[in-house]
Amino acid sequence: MPIADDTLYSFKYVNGHPKNTREGLPTVMAFGVLADVATGAPLLLSELTLTTALRTAAMSAVAAQVLARPDSRVMALIGNGAQAEFQALAFQHLLGIGELRLFDTDPAATDKLMANLRGSGLTLTRCGSTAEAVRGADIVTTVTADKTNATILTPAMVEPGMHINAVGGDCPGKTELHPDVLRGARVFVEYEPQTRIEGDIQRLPADFPVTELWQVLTGQAPGRMDTAEVTVFDSVGFALEDYAALRFVHAQAQRLGLGETLDLIPELDDPKNLFGLLQPRAAALRRAV
C-alpha cells in the first residue's frame, strides 16, 4: 500500500491469514516504512499490526460521526476477534456508545472480548446469533475474518436509521453484506477505485452510486440526511490512512525519544564507491582462509 506527496513516501506491507491463529500467529501482520522523498533515505521502520487496528477503528468512528444518528447508543459488534476491542472503545469514547451486543461464531472470541472490556463502563450483552445482536442496534459493526463472500448481514436484519460499519470485507472475494443491504442504503467509501475491487460493493455493478467520505468531511456532499435513512461505511482501509499513522508514529517517537537506529543503509566514506565497502571484508576473509 504505497503513497507519497512531494515530501514523504510511505508503504505498508500487510497480509491477512485467518488460519494463522492455529499456528500461534495473528491473522493480520503488517509493518511500514516512512522515507524522505528528496533523498530516498528511510526515516522510520515500524510495526503496523497494532497501528492498523488503531487507525481502522479511528476511521470507523470518523465515518460514524457524520453518518450515524447523533443519538446512537447501542452497537452490535459481529466478529469479536483482534479488531473488536479497538472498534468498541473508539465508538464508546468518540460517539457515546454505551451498550455492545456481541456475536461471534467462536464463543472463545466473545469470552476474550468481554474479559478485555471488563471495567470499561460498557454494557456487554452476549447474543446467540447475528440477528439477535443487531435487533434494536443503532450501529452495526461487522468485522469478520473469513476470506469468503459471506452474508453476515441480510436485508431482514436492517432497521430504519441504522448505520452499518462494514469493516471485514477488505479484499477481492471477501464480503460481509448481502447486496440488497447495499442497494437499500446510501453507501460511503474511502477511495472508490480500491473499494470497487476490495469492498462489499465488489458484488454490485460498476455504476452503483457511492460517495467518498472526504466529500462529506469537507462539506461537498451530505452525510446522513434523515433519522430513518440507512447508511453504510464500506471500509477497506487505504494507503493515506497508513501514511498519516506513520507520520504520527514518527513524530511521537522523536518527541518521546523512542525507537532505535538501524543500519539499513551503508555508511560510506566515499558515497560513489559502494564496492569499496566490501574490500576490507574481502581482505579479512582471504586472511582467514
Tens of pLDDT, residue by residue over 82-116, are 999 999 999 999 999 999 999 999 999 999 999 99
Q: For position 126, what pLDDT does the model report?
A: 98
140: its cell numbers: 452495526
Handedness of CA 145, 149, 151, 153 (dihedral sign): positive
Residues designated catalytic: 170
Q: For position 17, what pLDDT does the model report?
A: 86
Do the Cβ atoms of 176 and 154 come closer than 8 Å? Answer: no
Domain(s) of CATH 3.40.50.720: residues in the chain? 67-237
Q: For position 282, what pLDDT does the model report?
A: 65
Residue partners of 161: CB distance under 8 A and separation at least 6: 69, 138, 227, 228, 229, 230
The closest of 246, 276, 281 to 52, measured between CA atoms, is 246
Q: What's the pTM value of the predicted model, to 2 decimals?
A: 0.91
CATH code for the structural domain at 2-47+241-278: 3.30.1780.10
Amino acid at the residue 99: E
39: its cell numbers: 533523498
CATH 3.40.50.720 fits 67-237, yes or no: yes
Domain(s) of CATH 3.30.1780.10: residues in the chain? 2-47+241-278
Strands 139-142 and 74-78: parallel
Average pLDDT by consecutive 10-residue portion of the chain (289 residues)?
96 89 88 97 96 96 98 98 96 98 97 98 98 98 90 97 95 95 98 96 97 98 97 96 97 96 89 87 68
